[in-house]
């Protein structure tokens, strides 16, 4: 996240003309990405606030949450960061940010996979839930 925030936008093929003619779609992508990120993050935090921990291992008193935003995507807190990064990347048409976004996606996918192993051990019904709900991108992945 820090690398993403500190990286300067870079795209050697980007011209002022391209920036001008794509201003409205780029701004739309930024706004939609940030709104979606805020919604996913806020709802995700709200639904698991009693079970939230800095470590990905579930706490002893955890319950499996499958409703609300968790009925749409299994890891909305990770998804929120990815959608915010996507909005910023599209707004800047930045190849440097695109590269960091891809690395971020791979990192969150790996972290979610590890976390899901622990969740399956703690909550046997997690496997069925994972079969119904996508991991990071609603309806896609």
Q: What is the pLDDT of residues 17-44, one digit of tens each?
A: 999 999 999 999 999 999 999 999 999 9
CA distance to 62, 128, 138, per residue, from 70 (Å) = 15, 14, 10
**Number of domains making up the chain:** 1
Q: Determine, yes or no, domain membership for 127.
A: yes
Question: Can you give the pTM of this predicted structure?
Answer: 0.92
Q: Determine, yes or no, domain membership for 6.
A: no
The count of other CB atoms within 10 Å of the CB of residue 47 is 18
Cα(130)–Cα(30) distance, rounded to whole angstroms? 30
Domain ranges, residue 41: 23-132
Q: Determine, yes or no, domain membership for 39.
A: yes
Q: Determine, yes or no, domain membership for 1.
A: no
64 CB-contact burial (10 Å; exposed 0-12 / middle 13-18 / buried 19+)? middle
Q: Determine, yes or no, domain membership for 41.
A: yes
Q: Determine, yes or no, domain membership for 14.
A: no
Express each pLDDT in 97-127 by its tens digit: 999 999 999 999 999 999 999 999 999 999 9
Q: How confident is the model at residue 50 (pLDDT cuts 50, 70, 90)?
A: confident
CA distance to 40, 48, 105, 109, per residue, from 102 (Å) = 19, 27, 5, 10
Q: Determine, yes or no, domain membership for 105.
A: yes
Q: Determine, yes or no, domain membership for 31.
A: yes
Compute the average pLDDT of residues 8-22.
94
């Amino acid at each position: 996240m820090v690398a993403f925030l500190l990286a300067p936008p870079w795209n050697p093929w980007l011209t002022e003309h391209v920036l001008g003619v794509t201003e409205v779609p780029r701004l739309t992508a930024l706004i939609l990405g940030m709104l979606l990120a805020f919604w996913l993050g806020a709802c995700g935090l709200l639904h698991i606030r009693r079970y939230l921990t800095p470590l990905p291992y579930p706490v002893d008193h955890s319950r499996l949450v499958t409703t609300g935003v968790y009925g749409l995507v299994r890891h909305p807190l990770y998804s929120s960061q990815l959608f915010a990064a996507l909005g910023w990347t599209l707004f800047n048409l930045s190849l440097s940010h695109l590269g960091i976004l891809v690395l971020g996606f791979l990192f969150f996918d790996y972290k979610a996979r590890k976390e899901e192993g622990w969740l399956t051990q703690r909550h046997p019904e997690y496997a069925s839930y994972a079969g119904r709900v996508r991991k990071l991108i609603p309806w896609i992945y």
